[in-house]
Amino acid sequence: MNAPPPAGRAPGPTDGPRMPAAAPKGTQRERVPTLIFQTPAEMARRVARRIAMLVEERQAAGETAVLGLPTGSTPIGVYQELIRMHEDDGLDFSNVVTFNLDEYYPMATERLQSYHRFMEENFFKHVNVPAENIHIPKGDIPRAEVEQHCLAYEHAIEKAGGIDLLLLGIGRSGHVGFNEPGSGPETRTRLIILDEITRKDAASGFFGEENVPREALTMGVGTILDASEIILMATGEHKAPIVSRAIEEAPSREVTASYLQDHPNATFYLDTAAAGELIRIKTPWLVKEVDWDAEKAKRAVIWLSHTTGKPILRLETGDFHQHQLHALVHRYEHIDRLAREVFEDLRQRITYPEEILSGERVIVFSPHPDDDVISMGGMLDVLAQNENDLTVAYMTNGSVAVFDADVQRYLHFLELSTEALKLGEEAAQQIEETREALTTFSAERAGDDVDPEQLQVLKAHVRYSEAIAAIGVMGLGASHARFLDMPFYKTGRIKKDPIGEADVTVVLDLLHEIQPTHIFVAGDLSDPHGTHRMCYQAIKEAVASYRGEGEGAARSLTIWLYRGAWQEWETHRADLFLPLSKAALDRKVEAIFKHESQKDRAMFPGAYDEREFWQRARDRNRETADTLNALGLPEFYAAEAYVKTDEMP
C-alpha cells in the first residue's frame, strides 16, 4: 500500500482500480480495498482495534492521535468496543483529538437529534478524551457566522496536524458526511442543502420528515480526502446497492463515496449483507475460478436463467459457455442433468397449505405489532387453519409509530360513548381532561419531545387492539396474542437501549411456558430503526440458553426465518415457498388494513420505498411468484418465502 499523503494535501488520482498486493481473488472489479466481515460486531471490533493501535502508537511517541468521527447507527458498535477497551483494558484517550464530520443546521446541542448529544451519550462521556480536544460543527450559531465557523473548523484541523484516521459511513444516496450527490473533491467544510433521500432516511429520528432540518454543516469531500487513513463502514442489505457502485464504478459526483478510490489509504469495511451486491459475492464466477459445489451451482443456474430469460429446463450448454460458466459445464458432465436437479430442488421447496405444519406448538415472533401479517400473513393464515397451537408474540409495543391524532380520535370516541357505555360522570370527566391535555401537548410539542408516559401507554394500546383485529381475520383472537413489551424498546424515543438480560429473559420465559416445536423469527435485519435486528439478538440468546438447559427444553425446535417489508429471501436461499391464491393474498391484505394507525401515512415507512406496507407485501409476494414462474416452475398468484434453520446465524 502506498504511504499516506502528508496532512493537508489531498492524494493524487489513480489511473484505474487500485488493490493491495495481497488482494483476495475475484476483487479485480473493485477499485478500492475492501474487507468483508461475517457480522457487524466482528467488523466493529476490527475497527476499534485499529483505532486503539493508532492511539497507543502516538501515545508512546508522545504525540496526539487525531480522529475523524461519524454518527449514525453503524459506528455505535465501534464506540461500544472502544468504551469496553477503556474500561477493561485501560485504553487511554488523553492524547486524542477528535473532529466530527457534520451536524444538522439549525440544531441546538441539547436536542435529541443533535450530533453533539449523540457523541456525548454514545462515546465521550464514557472515555477520557479531554473536552478541549473535542470538535463538532456547531448547528446553533447565527447564519451570518456559519461561513467563518466553517473556515475556523478547517483551520483547527490543519492546526492539529491533519486527521490521522477518519471513520465514515455511507448514505443510501452514496454520500459521506453530508456531501450529497453533486459534491466534488474540491469541497471543504460548508453549509449544504440536504438531499430528499437523506431527509427521508433521517425522518424516523425526527418523528416525521417535516421535522428534519433542510441544511447541515459538513466536512467537504476534499477535507475528508486529506485524512491520512480512511475507513468506510457499511452494514445491512439496504446499503448493498450503493456500496457496489462506490466500490466497482468509476468515481463520480453522483456517488461521493466513490472518491475514496482516489485515496491511497482508504478501505471499505463491510458486513456480508452490505457486500451482497459485489460481483465477487453475488456472481463470483464472473471474476474468479469457483470451487463448485451444489449451492454455488444452484445460484449460477438460477442467475443464468434470469440473465438469459429462459426457464431452467430450456437452458443449453451454449448458454453456460456464453456467460463465463465454462468450469461449471466441465464440472457437471451432463448440463441437462444439472438443470433438472436445480429445477427439482426448487420445485420440492414449494409447499402447499395442506403440507404445512399441523398440530404443533408454534410461536410467531413479531418485532412490531404488524410484522406478523405484513411479512407472513399467508403462513399465519395456514398455521391457524391447520389447527396448530399458535401464539403470536409481539415483542415491542410500537408506540412511537402512532400519531397523536390517532389517540385523540379514540378519546373522542370514548367521550361520545360515555353514556352508551355507562362509564359514569367521573370517568367521562377523566377522558375529557386526558384528551384536552393531549391536545395541548400536541400543539406545543417540538419534534423531539418524548411522549408522556400516559400517552405512550395509550399509543401502545392502539397498536395492541389493531394487532388483535388483524389476527382476527385469520380466525385467531386475543388469547393467541402475547404482548411482550420488551424493556429495550421502552425509551419513548427512536433510539433504543441495548439488548440486556431482562429482554432475553422475557423471551426465555415464553419459550419455557409454550415449549414450542417451531418458531418463526424476523430475518430481515435492515429495518431503518434497527428494532428487528435487536429482537433477533434477544431471541438468538434466549434460544441458546433454552437449548442449553437440558434434553427436555432442548428437544426438537425448528426455526423459520421470514422477511418483511424491506426485502424477500433470494430464490436460491429459500427453503420453503408457500403459494398464495388471490383469496389468500386478499385476506393477508385485509389483515394489514386492520393496522389503521399505519395505514395511508405511517410514522416510519422507511426511506427506501414510497409504497404503503400492504402494497409492498402484495407486490413482493406477486414478484416471488413471478420469479418462480420465470424459472419454469408452476405459476402461482403469489408466494411467500422462508428459510429453515437449526441455529440462528
How many CA atoms does the CB half-sphere of 287 hold within 13 Å? 16
Does 337 share its domain with 234?
Answer: no
Domain presence at residue 10: no
Place of cell 393531549: 438
Does 253 share its domain with 297?
Answer: no
Does 325 share its domain with 362?
Answer: no
Q: What stretches in the chain show pLDDT beneath 50?
A: 1-21, 607
Rounded Cα distance between 86 and 263, Å, is 31
Rounded Cα distance between 391 and 389, Å, is 7
With CA atoms as reference, report the closest residue to 202 among 55, 355, 73, 392: 73
pTM of the predicted model as reported, rounded to 2 decimal places: 0.86
Question: With the CA atoms of 405, 410, 411 and 412 taken in that order, what torsion angle do they form, in degrees rounded to the nearest 10?
Answer: 90
Does 201 share its domain with 213?
Answer: yes
SS3 state of residue 562 = strand
In this structure, the number of other CB atoms found within 10 A of the CB of residue 542 comes to 21
Domain presence at residue 107: yes
Give counts: helices (H), strands (E), the chain.
Answer: 20, 17
Looking at the DSSP assignment, which residues form a beta bridge with residue 423? none
Q: pLDDT value at position 608?
A: 56
Rounded Cα distance between 554 and 516, Å, is 10
Rounded Cα distance between 283 and 292, Å, is 12
Distance of CA 214 to the CA centre of its chain: 24
Rounded Cα distance between 534 and 522, Å, is 11
With CA atoms as reference, report the closest residue to 563 among 479, 501, 623, 635: 623
In this structure, the number of other CB atoms found within 10 A of the CB of residue 539 comes to 28
Does 363 share its domain with 337?
Answer: no
120 is written with which cell numbers? 456525548
Through-space distance between the first and last CA atoms of the chain, rounded to whole angstroms:
34
Query: What is the 3-class SS of 83-144, one letter each residue?
Result: HHHHHHHCCCCCCEEEEECEEEECCCCCCCCCHHHHHHHHCHHHCCCCHHHEECCCCCCCHH
Report whether 462 contacts 404 (CB < 8 A). no
Distance of CA 590 to the CA centre of its chain: 27
Rounded Cα distance between 455 and 471, Å, is 25
Q: Which helix (H) or strand (E) holds 558?
A: strand 558-562
Does 378 share its domain with 487?
Answer: yes
Burial status of residue 513 (CB atoms within 10 A of its CB: 0-12, 13-18, 19 or more): exposed
With CA atoms as reference, report the closest residue to 589 among 626, 623, 638: 638
Residue ending a domain, choose from 234, 267, 300? 267
Q: pLDDT value at position 10?
A: 38
Specify the number of domains making up the chain: 3
Q: pLDDT value at position 25?
A: 81
Distance of CA 248 to the CA centre of its chain: 22
Does 257 share its domain with 394?
Answer: no
Vertex 238 angle, CA 30 and 521, to 5°? 125
Q: Where are the beta strands (DSSP E) in 264-331?
A: 266-271
Q: pLDDT value at position 225?
A: 98
Does 94 share its domain with 161?
Answer: yes
Rounded Cα distance between 249 and 197, Å, is 21
Q: pLDDT value at position 5?
A: 38
With CA atoms as reference, report the closest residue to 85 among 32, 136, 133, 45: 45
Does 154 share its domain with 236?
Answer: yes
**Is residue 180 annotated as part of the catalytic site, yes or no?**
yes
Rounded Cα distance between 191 and 107, Å, is 13
Structural domain containing residue 144: 34-267
Which residues does 409 contact at the CB level (< 8 Å), separation at least 6?
A: none
Does 315 share its domain with 227?
Answer: no
Evaluate the omega torsion of the peptide bond into residue 106 and state whether it is cis, within 30 degrees of 0: yes
Domain presence at residue 408: no
Report whether 418 contacts 431 (CB < 8 A). yes
Does 323 share its domain with 385?
Answer: no
With CA atoms as reference, report the closest residue to 357 among 394, 376, 384, 378: 384
137 is written with which cell numbers? 460543527
* Predicted confidence (pLDDT) per residue in 114-148, tens digit: 999 999 999 999 999 999 999 999 999 999 999 99
* Predicted confidence (pLDDT) per residue in 446-457, tens digit: 766 788 899 999
In this structure, the number of other CB atoms found within 10 A of the CB of residue 284 comes to 18
Does 196 share its domain with 302?
Answer: no
Rounded Cα distance between 112 and 548, Å, is 41
Q: pLDDT value at position 649?
A: 77
Rounded Cα distance between 174 and 70, Å, is 15
CATH number at residue 110: 3.40.50.1360
Q: pLDDT value at position 494?
A: 57
Domain presence at residue 526: yes
**Residue 638 gets which letter from DSSP?**
E
Domain presence at residue 406: no
152 is written with which cell numbers? 475556523
Domain presence at residue 416: no
CATH number at residue 363: 3.40.50.10320
Catalytic residue among 30, 103, 154, 180: 180
Domain presence at residue 510: yes
Report whether 338 contacts 297 (CB < 8 A). yes
Q: Mean pLDDT, the chain, as a whole number? A: 91
Domain presence at residue 460: yes
Residue ending a domain, choose from 205, 239, 267? 267
